[in-house]
Amino acid sequence: MELIQQLINGVSLGSIYALIALGYTMVYGIVKLINFAHGDVFMVGSFVGFYSITVLDLSFVPALLISMTVCALFGVLIERIAYKPLRNATRIAALITAIGVSLLIEYGFIYVRGAQPEAYPSDVLPTDKFNIFGVSINSQSVLIFGVAVVLMIILQIIVHKTKIGKAMRAVSFDADAARLMGINVNNTISATFAIGSALAGAAGVIFGIYYIKIEPLMGVLPGLKAFVAAVLGGIGIIPGAMVGGLLLGVIEALVSAAGYSLWRDAVAFIVLILILIFMPQGLFGKNKKEKV
């Protein structure tokens, strides 16, 4: 029974990783860029959700929507200012810029509001517990997982059923050919950043409700773990990011259940090393060499 409880906890945590990982994998699929500032967009989303709940006195859903909207605009701003001028630059230049943007957001945020942590109110979502076959399940975990699944389904609909989704897939396949077919590549890339950042903002609110404590450097570790999840599933592949996030969350929960909670953070990077050695294309990726 304890194992089932840990699996439920792992799925809830994994859904947060999956939402963040989707941003990594979408951006990489379009512009072949690892956006290391993505974890900090997640942090901003968490604080926007916190202030929406505590200062504006909003409930969960409006706070979630506001956080997603602010983070979508923030993601577009980052792309237009920091990444668009480097569209044709070398990979290493874009990577260094991403790291620089990440540090700028973190310490700029600390400069503006200070480094003190905040705590989400405990009554944002119901915390009832119910038993299923002797397993005690927190209603909050179920609701968090449900919200994450709904957002992932909406993303799949956007990517496969809408005009902007078709444009994103076309640019991902061949940006030059897409441009010749009349697709506005710049707007498509901005839309990709907006959608990925909105999902990170949603993950930030969910994280705050689930773990209560938030602080300006909170995006570093979840951001890196979400990157591991994206690599695990196959970087650039949307279903892979979903599965990779959920799988990583379950692995961490099982490690904690086995009594090795101190190794919980290290396990994610052990998984990354093993994936890069034995299956560099990820679970859903094709085994082919990429031109650098």
User: Tens digits of per-residue pLDDT, 179-226?
Assistant: 999 999 999 999 999 999 999 999 999 999 988 899 999 999 999 999
Give the closest residue to 203 by CA, choosing from 75, 32, 58. Answer: 75
Query: What number of other Cβ atoms are within 10 A of residue 117's Cβ?
Result: 12
pTM score: 0.91
Burial of 146-182, coded b for 16+ CB within 10 Å and e otherwise, reads ebbeebbeebeeebeeeebbebbebbbeebeebeeee
CB of 68 within 8 A of CB of 240?
no
CB-neighbour burial class of residue 289 (10 A; exposed 0-12, middle 13-18, buried 19+): exposed
**Token code pair at residue 30:** 């379009």
Least confident of 133-137, 266-270, 282-286: 133-137
Q: If you search the block for the tokens 């979502």, which residue do you land on?
A: 125
pLDDT tens-digit readout, 16-66: 999 999 999 999 988 888 899 999 999 999 999 999 999 999 999 999 999
pLDDT at 291: 35
Q: Euclidean distance between the first and final Cα of the chain, in Å? A: 49
User: What is the pLDDT averaged over residues 229-246?
Assistant: 90
